[in-house]
Structure 1
Amino acid sequence: MLKQIVEPTIINLKQAEEIFADLSPAIYSSTSAAPYYSSIGGHLRHILDIFKCIVSGLDSRIIDLTNRKRGTIVEKNPVEGQKYLRRIISDLENISDLDPSIAITIKDDLGMGMVEIPTTLGGGLNQAHSHAIHHFACIGYILHIHGAILPNKIFGYNPTTPKNQSV
């Protein structure tokens, strides 16, 4: 069942709730951190958009990862970010009983035009989960630059990271 992928993904995504609870809108939306000048809100919106693309493409079995909405209110307003997070978690809970071997096609622009990659729903969600962890690490750097504290000691670490390196 897809539940084996969805449950740890939801646990990981719920770490973002702690960011919403303690972070000012100014830090959440700040693009002052070099060298990429991206915001915490921008990273969270990006993470959630990837999951939204997967859920939205399930009926057609075509997941278009270029169909993301940049520059939305989610990037500026942590309350809107929290609402979006909760919608994505609900969407993931609703698909947790699906078969992970469902064939899908992921469409993306890898830098030289659109490509179509055949894979499975489980494979696509697994990649989205790893991608989210990577962006949580980026958020960790931005939090540090602003003098904010990470939500917990595992935030932004892949579960396969040796424990003596993560704490």
Structure 2
Amino acid sequence: MEHLEAVEGNLIVLQQAAELLRRMDDRTYATTAGGEGQSPVGVHFRHILDHYSAFLRGLPEGAIDYDARERHGPLETDRGLALATVLGFITDIGGIPGELAARPLSVSLRSVADRGHAPDWSQSSLKRELQFLVSHTVHHYALIKHILTPAGFETGEGFGIAPSTLAARGNSIECAR
């Protein structure tokens, strides 16, 4: 199936999250890079997980609205809840039925902040949305790494580095199944 590589990419980044969340303590989860307006690690994880939740919630009907995220506050401060959510998403993403790969998806992601603008829906596919989730997640992992590295916390090999960059370097992160 053409979407399987994209599923594997998501399983890899979600497993990276699970491994990182298991190794950090609650204080580290609340760490910021310092400075006004800087988001703690937990806020980045909540944001990532809200996108996965929107994806999985909209997938059965074929209409994914990334703007209708729950913005689940407890995920920002409860590392255990974040880990449990990640583990659930690993199961959910790994169990996406192959027959969904051929079905078109409609996706909404607001392009303008003005509330007067109608939702901006476009056509997409399962594979493309899985690719988006990997890219979005890796971007936030890079921000998390930027927060944790100066605090002396090692995020792990390949964390926050795009798959294309890892491939160009001759590195890879394998999916543990």
> TM range, normalised to the smaller chain?
0.7 to 0.9
CA distance in 2, matches of 1:43, 1:122: 24
Q: CA offset at residue 30 of structure 1?
A: 3.1
8 Å CA contact 2:18, 2:83 repeated in 1: yes
Q: Where does structure 1 differ by over 4 angstroms across 4 or more consecutive aligned residues? A: none
Aligned to 2:11: 10
Aligned length: 165
8 Å CA contact 2:101, 2:125 repeated in 1: yes
8 Å CA contact 2:50, 2:72 repeated in 1: no
- Percent identity over paired residues: 27
Q: In the alignment, is residue 124 of structure 1 matched against residue 129 of structure 2? A: yes
Which residue identity is paired with 2:19? E
Q: CA offset at residue 71 of structure 1?
A: 5.0
Taking a change above 3 Å as real, the CA distance of residues 34 and 117 of structure 1, as seen in their structure-2 partners, is farther
Taking a change above 3 Å as real, the CA distance of residues 127 and 147 of structure 1, as seen in their structure-2 partners, is same
Aligned to 2:160: 156
CA distance in 1, matches of 2:84, 2:22: 12
Q: CA offset at residue 5 of structure 1?
A: 1.2
Alignment of 1:59-138 (within 5 A): 59-70=60-71, 72-112=73-113, 113=117, 114-138=119-143
8 Å CA contact 2:29, 2:79 repeated in 1: yes
Q: Any stretches of 5+ residues in structure 1 without a counterpart?
A: none
Aligned to 2:152: 147
Secondary structure, in 3 states, of the residue corresponding to 1:90? helix
TM-score, length basis structure 1: 0.88
Q: CA offset at residue 138 of structure 1?
A: 0.6
CA distance in 2, matches of 1:36, 1:15: 26
8 Å CA contact 1:29, 1:77 repeated in 2: no
CA distance in 1, matches of 2:91, 2:98: 13
Of 26-35 and 101-110, the range deviating more from structure 2? 26-35
Q: CA offset at residue 155 of structure 1?
A: 0.7
CA distance in 1, matches of 2:10, 2:60: 21
CA distance in 2, matches of 1:75, 1:95: 27
Taking a change above 3 Å as real, the CA distance of residues 71 and 48 of structure 1, as seen in their structure-2 partners, is closer
C-alpha deviations, 1:110-160, integer Å up to 9, x for none?
A: 22432111111111111111111111111100111322112x221111111
Which residue identity is paired with 1:156? G
Q: CA offset at residue 18 of structure 1?
A: 2.2
CA distance in 2, matches of 1:67, 1:116: 13
Taking a change above 3 Å as real, the CA distance of residues 135 and 35 of structure 1, as seen in their structure-2 partners, is farther
